[in-house]
Amino acid sequence: MADAAAFALAAEQLVGTRFRLRGRRAETGIDCVGLVLLALRNSGRTAPDVTGYGLRNHDYSFLPAIADATGFETVDSKVAIGDVLVVTPGPAQRHLLIASARHHFIHAHAGIGKVVRMPGPISWPITNIYRLKQGT
């Protein structure tokens, strides 16, 4: 099975992919959920698909089930490479980022229209941190 570094590397390799809401393929575009799912798949994990959310959607109640199904657990610690962060960039919005290196994050940026690598620190409030379980 892939580890956190392989997952982070798979996310890095998607930098430059165009943004597309609910997109799941690098060839046609991905969003933040698609980034996480595609990076999981590209790093050797099976990842279920997720539907039924919008661009400005504060309901990310599907995340715990996806995290559990793909070998992630919620942690309350400093961010590590390969972590998936749930952030709140706006009042009715949740967004996912992947920690790719020390103080760098990969995310699908709707405003820029592509997946980008962003230096930290993150200015958005972090609501959850998901980390790959050891040995999964």
Q: What's the pLDDT tens digit per position in 9-33?
A: 999 999 999 999 989 999 999 999 9
Q: Over 60: is that where the pLDDT of 2 sits? A: no
The CATH number given to whatever domain includes residue 55 is 3.90.1720.10
Q: How many CA atoms lie within 13 A of 70 on its CB side?
A: 32
Q: Over 90: is that where the pLDDT of 46 sits? A: no
**Domains contained in the chain, number:** 1
Q: What's the gap between Cα 64 and its chain centre?
A: 13
Tell me what pLDDT residue 57 has. 67
Domain enclosing residue 50, as ranges:
4-132
Tell me what pLDDT residue 82 has. 96
Tell me what pLDDT residue 60 has. 75
Q: Over 80: is that where the pLDDT of 59 sits? A: no
Mean pLDDT, residues 96-107 taken together: 94
Tell me what pLDDT residue 8 has. 96
